[in-house]
């Protein structure tokens, strides 16, 4: 027997999980599809049973450069041969280099590294509250957020998102968030009070259904924050690192936030998150105010550095925008082809959505796409997300649109 763990008495040794009978040992928090992938390459995933899927979900906007990108593998293995982890008790060279690059590329002067999107959002909330505290406004600690938002699954980020379904059964909702209807300017102005510290928003609601904040509204939010002494906190966990055709989505609006949460695409599949802030916004984040054991670990830093190398190469984002046009044209033609089931094409860059007519369930579209060996991701507001890798080839893009067309035919047949 390997290891020193004796099997629990009365329990048989588990056999390999068979199709349709996954192990029960994994907590049942996900409604998973019964597909097991063994390996990936570019935009393609290969199952243990030999099937081949076109991946237009990218692990929910994480595999920004597809699967098994040679430069990411090289960066990870080179680092793996040198050093994995030291903790944040010591200087971590990779953090210093990556933070420097991120500050050169963005509005930010300071970066904190963490491991996930929820952690990045939670940290962003802490930074906003702390900023007001050290600015002589300890009473300003509330944050305005928006209906349909998603900021993560910690107790505080759940409260920030305010989705009743996710909050149920987990005790009193964490205080400190005032939820405003998406796009309701009047309600937003009214929600600002003497206790407001910040406004927190996704430039495009991802989980919420690819709902884009119009650029002029982001400009308005920036002005509102400046007028009231609030911080503008952007959650670019899903929209960041080239996903919308700019390095960060707020660049489309020509504004800058005070604080920004980043994760998903940053590590191209390696878990890493970051909180970016101006020096002013981060002025309260002194030694001891925040921390993470794993955050900014050398492996994560090396891979994130390689992702940034590729995404910031001259022409890369231009190519993302060209691919976007092709994809959007394809999706628009699908809307014309299936007017009874497709309501609207949404999104910016390769964060696209098809809002379906009320009688169509996004889950059924995802299932029909699976049957065509195409992976998509469901979302709120009756929407299906289309999130190919940023470096998807033209051929794969066309193939994806074709498969989606066949998937919509399937859905259409079940309705008539």
Ligand X SMILES: *Cc1c(COP(=O)(O)O)cnc(C)c1O
- Binding flag, residue 235, ligand X (CB under 6 A): yes
Shorter beta-carbon distance to ligand X: residue 83 or 155: 155
Closest CA to 173 of 149, 154, 155: 155
Q: Would you say the C-alpha torsion 397, 400, 405, 408 has a positive or negative sign?
A: negative
Q: Which stretch binds ligand X (CB under 6 A): 2-10, 111-119, 166-174, 222-230?
A: 111-119
Closest CA to 241 of 62, 408, 30, 416: 62
Taking residues 323 to 352 in sequence order and writing x for each that binds ligand X by CB under 6 A, - otherwise, the string is ------------------------------
From candidates 110, 129, 151, 179, binder to ligand X by CB under 6 A: 151
**Residues 257-296 within binding reach of ligand X (CB under 6 A):** 263-264
Shorter beta-carbon distance to ligand X: residue 113 or 338: 113
SS3 state of residue 232? strand
Q: Which stretch binds ligand X (CB under 6 A): 15-23, 133-141, 148-156, 177-185?
A: 148-156
Closest CA to 356 of 333, 325, 385, 329: 385
- Binding flag, residue 152, ligand X (CB under 6 A): yes
Applying CB under 6 A, the site for ligand X has a residue count of 15
Shorter beta-carbon distance to ligand X: residue 118 or 368: 118
Q: Which stretch binds ligand X (CB under 6 A): 188-196, 233-241, 350-358, 381-389?
A: 233-241
- Binding flag, residue 163, ligand X (CB under 6 A): no
CB of 365 to ligand X, least distance (A): 20
Closest CA to 291 of 71, 92, 70: 92
- Binding flag, residue 249, ligand X (CB under 6 A): no
From candidates 43, 63, 116, 132, binder to ligand X by CB under 6 A: 116
CA distance 159 to 153: 9
Total Cβ atoms within 10 A of residue 90: 7
| 268 touches 69 (CB < 8 A) | yes
Q: Which stretch binds ligand X (CB under 6 A): 72-80, 149-157, 297-305, 377-385?
A: 149-157
Complete DSSP assignment for 76-135: HHHHHTT-----TTS--HHHHHHHHHHHHHSS-SEEEEESSHHHHHHHHHHHHHHHHHHT
- Binding flag, residue 118, ligand X (CB under 6 A): yes
From candidates 55, 178, 202, 348, binder to ligand X by CB under 6 A: 202
Strand ranges inside 120-256, DSSP E: 142-146, 177-180, 196-201, 204-205, 211-212, 231-235
* N residues, the chain: 416
Which residues sit at the interface with ligand X, rule CB under 6 A?
Answer: 116-118, 121, 150-152, 202, 206-207, 235, 237-238, 263-264
């Amino acid at each position: 027997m390997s290891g020193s763990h004796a099997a629990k008495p009365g329990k048989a040794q588990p056999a390999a999980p068979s199709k349709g009978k996954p192990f029960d040992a994994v907590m049942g928090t996900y409604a998973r599809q019964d597909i097991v992938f063994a390996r990936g390459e570019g935009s393609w995933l290969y199952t243990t049973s030999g099937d081949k899927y076109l991946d237009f979900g990218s692990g929910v906007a994480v595999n920004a450069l597809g699967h098994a990108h040679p430069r990411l593998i090289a960066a990870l293995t080179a680092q793996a041969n040198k050093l994995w982890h030291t903790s944040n008790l010591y200087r971590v060279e990779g953090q210093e280099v990556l933070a420097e690059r991120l500050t050169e590329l963005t509005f930010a002067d300071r970066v904190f590294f963490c491991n996930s999107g929820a952690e990045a959002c939670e940290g962003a909330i802490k930074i906003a509250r702390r900023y007001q505290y050290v600015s002589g406004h300890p009473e300003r600690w509330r944050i305005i957020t928006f209906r349909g938002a998603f900021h993560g699954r910690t107790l505080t980020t759940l409260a920030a998102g305010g989705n009743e379904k996710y909050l149920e059964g987990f005790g009193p909702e964490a205080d400190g968030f005032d939820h405003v209807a998406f796009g309701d300017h009047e309600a937003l102005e009214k929600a600002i009070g003497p206790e407001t510290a910040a406004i927190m928003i996704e430039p495009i609601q991802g989980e919420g259904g690819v709902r884009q904040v119009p650029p002029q509204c982001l400009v308005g939010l920036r002005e509102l924050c400046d007028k009231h002494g609030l911080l503008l906190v952007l959650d670019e966990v899903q929209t960041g690192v080239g996903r919308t055709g700019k390095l960060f989505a707020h660049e489309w609006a020509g504004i800058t936030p005070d604080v920004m949460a980043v994760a998903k695409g940053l590590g191209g599949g390696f878990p890493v998150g970051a909180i970016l802030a101006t020096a002013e916004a981060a002025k309260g984040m002194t030694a001891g105010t925040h921390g993470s054991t794993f955050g900014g670990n050398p492996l994560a830093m090396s891979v994130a550095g390689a992702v940034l190398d590729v995404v910031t190469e001259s022409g890369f984002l231009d190519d993302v925008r060209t691919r976007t046009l092709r994809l959007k044209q394809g999706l628009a033609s699908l809307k014309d082809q299936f007017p009874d089931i497709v309501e609207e094409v949404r999104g910016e860059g390769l964060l696209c959505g098809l809002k379906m007519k009320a009688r169509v369930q996004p889950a059924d579209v995802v299932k029909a796409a699976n049957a065509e060996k195409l992976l998509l991701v469901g979302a709120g507001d009756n929407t299906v997300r289309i999130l190919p890798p940023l470096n998807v080839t033209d051929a794969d893009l066309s193939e994806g649109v074709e498969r989606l067309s066949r998937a919509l035919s399937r859905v259409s047949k079940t309705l008539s």
